[in-house]
Structure 1
């Protein structure tokens, strides 16, 4: 069985999809799958499900949810294990898209060739079909359980854009980078990639304006000035430094049929901008592009 958590939750088997029941039961299953194969205590599950305020009878309700999920999954060879007041999913992490994404992203970012790196990161990013547990978790819960995955997604997005720029492919990145930069205005690496893509598209003024927007946001939100890397890029764009010129990509590598930065299938469930978790808590980046 294959479980999708990066978007609306689904469970697929060779003969179709399994109907997973009520929202809170699906949420419990999603929480356990995110931690698989590690165990999660009943107390943590209750606190996550009811935002630190479990009602009277929450423990009995949790046992009911688990019993229903066990009965649903057992015929398909998926076991929920009880361990000293905790629950764990006895399932191969490779059968869960969130785990597949993490492994694929790490593997791809270590590839030396930028074309191979871009292709590997694109494949990892296409596993996202919307926010984590899009129809099961609310924004508060998602921020508690999904911060690590969201940071991995943003890092993979930046590395993908960086690899595509290294291959001379910038035009198809512009719309998605604009959206991501607007969501994460203090993330300097992302702003730098957007500026470089704009500059290579012969939009110098727009690239400089993007810098100024980030500078204002850093000053107002964090009391900081842009880091040395972003400032250097700004100066290079002003002087039209030849070092910023795009490489000419091979003819076979010029066109992308789909942009993985847009977050998966057309029409996939979306929440806020770009179909991903919100920008809350993301870090200020100061890396070269």
Structure 2
């Protein structure tokens, strides 16, 4: 039986590479994106390799858009085996520099966007008695640091949600997997947003600038997005997948350091590494 996958945020980076990777592995892949005018790169790659991949419009902030996309998939394929919740963005700026509205917008996409999709997809997978939901988190979903608390807290929330899902959905044959990339060599940092009303006299400007500079330096040697995609394709083949999979040497390094050090030791370690 043909396997069917849905991936969000496929216009570039991890989403694009994951959709292509799943299609290469034999999935009929629905590569979704908010703005389908940005689909030329993935469509050209799929056409060149003769892949079973279809671009569809899906805005994770829009419940009707999600319903329409999932309904289209069910109508065309009558099943859905894999959902990859990848769509998201980040905001740079310390907490006092970010408005409550901006924090809500960050969670609306990174957290509630995934929740809306899970609400639509989980009943399909329960009826099938099989399926896998892959939530693309971040090493920042396990480690807090200054400069982007909105993004980090949204990923912490996604990690907690995913742990709950594993207990709740496993009896119905649904696996939940968390992917935790480190700093990835994509245009993600270029698309990071700044506060809408920045304060030129912010007491946190120097700290934010240092952290942003450090992360951008790490991104120059970052992990290619294809490595994240390859990890997702690989773990989907495992009979009993683990709860979470870090991707990238930096992610492994930070998580190992956090495991081995006390909280204060780890804080001091991060200060040296990032700023």
Band the TM-score falls in, shorter-chain normalisation: under 0.3
- Normalized per residue, the structure richer in strand is 2
> TM-score if structure 2 supplies the norm length?
0.27
Structure with larger Rg: 1
